[in-house]
A = this chain, B = another copy of it.
């Protein structure tokens, strides 16, 4: 009990009293999307008005999601369809991060990238000038298991990118495994390692952590992680905003990705309880990740401002 109390006391509940101090101390708010901005395809109440208010106070906004299914462009379309105006360059997806990782590491343009995951990864790779293969079109393929059967794979694949894939199958696992085990120097990149994701409103479903672990299991290798809690994406935010990390606040619903990302980068952190984390989990003695602030949902920021 003492330990739980001590833990809880290290995070402040956001209130009308401490909100102004938070607003004064930061110039940019970084938002996770799922469980923060929306749940599945439904906007969370009051988000639009809260973002408008923050923009009116000249706060910079960015949206940082581990969901690799969509590209930046596809995410901007989703924001638009929900009535929120966000530009592509305010969006940082783990699919974009994977493509940028290859770019900043001078991945050869004549090498290919095998994708276990969604269309968003392939689109970001293409925008960055890389040739992707695999992805959704391999979802219908099957591996033939017969004596003397040889599974052919492209020897020119120099990286395998793994993200969440609801169409995972043995063909894709074998293709990715062969590239990593047999192509010399082939990179193994994980968009993220979330154990589960809110793919529907009602339940948690296996996330990218499931597919990434499968490839770890067959290759006996650990991946390069580019999504949260890795701070790889922060370099691109810093380029865009020219604001120091200490004057940014990361707002998210997940302790081990969002809040840890914010802490790893030296940002202030605000946990919202509108997604996967509830108050008992935050205050459980076993939880070692404490945000600076917590509140029930993003629109509390607006409510605490008063009339």
Is the C-beta of A209 less than 8 angstroms from some C-beta in chain B?
yes
Cβ contact of A174, chosen from B150, B165, B170, B205, cutoff 8 A: B205
From A8-16, A192-200, A265-273, A283-291, give the one contacting chain B: A192-200
Distance of A229 from chain B, by nearest CB (Å): 15
Contact call B213/A147, Cβ cutoff below 8 A: no
Main secondary structure of the interface of A (DSSP, over half): loop
Q: Kindly state the separation between the CA atoms of A168 and B177 in the bound complex, as whole angstroms.
A: 15
Is the C-beta of A158 less than 8 angstroms from some C-beta in chain B?
no
Is the C-beta of A211 less than 8 angstroms from some C-beta in chain B?
yes
Is the C-beta of A55 less than 8 angstroms from some C-beta in chain B?
no
From A27-35, A56-64, A90-98, A216-224, give the one contacting chain B: A216-224
Question: CB within 8 Å of B: which of A41-90?
Answer: 41-42
Q: Interface residues of A, CB < 8 Å — how many? A: 46
Q: Kindly state the separation between the CA atoms of A239 and B116 in the bound complex, as whole angstroms.
A: 46
Which of A145, A177, A205, A212 has the most CB atoms of chain B within a 10 A radius of its CB? A205
Contact call B210/A177, Cβ cutoff below 8 A: yes
Is the C-beta of A166 less than 8 angstroms from some C-beta in chain B?
yes
Closest to A212 in B: B217
- Known contacts A195-B220, A213-B217, A217-B214; A170 and B168 CB within 8 A of each other: yes
User: Please, what's the 1-or-0 string for A178-215, where 1 marks a CB less than 8 Å from any CB in chain B?
Assistant: 10010000000000010110011111111101111111
Is the C-beta of A136 less than 8 angstroms from some C-beta in chain B?
no
User: Please, what's the 1-or-0 string for A153-176, where 1 marks a CB less than 8 Å from any CB in chain B?
Assistant: 000000000000111111001100
Cβ contact of A210, chosen from B196, B202, B205, B218, cutoff 8 A: B218
Contact call A195/B217, Cβ cutoff below 8 A: yes
Contact call B210/A150, Cβ cutoff below 8 A: no
Contact call A200/B42, Cβ cutoff below 8 A: no
Distance of A52 from chain B, by nearest CB (Å): 25
Contact call B150/A203, Cβ cutoff below 8 A: yes
Cβ contact of A145, chosen from B173, B199, B211, B220, cutoff 8 A: B199
User: Please, what's the 1-or-0 string for A98-125, where 1 marks a CB less than 8 Å from any CB in chain B?
Assistant: 0000000000000000000000000000
Q: List 19 interface pairs A-B (beta carbons < 8 Å), by A numbering.
A: A40-B148, A145-B199, A149-B202, A149-B203, A150-B200, A169-B169, A170-B206, A173-B210, A177-B196, A177-B210, A181-B204, A193-B217, A195-B217, A196-B218, A209-B217, A210-B214, A210-B217, A210-B218, A214-B214
Identify the A interface with B (CB < 8 A).
40-42, 143, 145-151, 165-170, 173-174, 177-178, 181, 193, 195-196, 199-207, 209-220
Other than the given A209-B218, A216-B217, 12 more pairs (CB < 8 A) read A41-B147, A143-B205, A147-B201, A151-B203, A151-B205, A166-B170, A173-B206, A173-B210, A174-B205, A181-B204, A195-B220, A206-B214
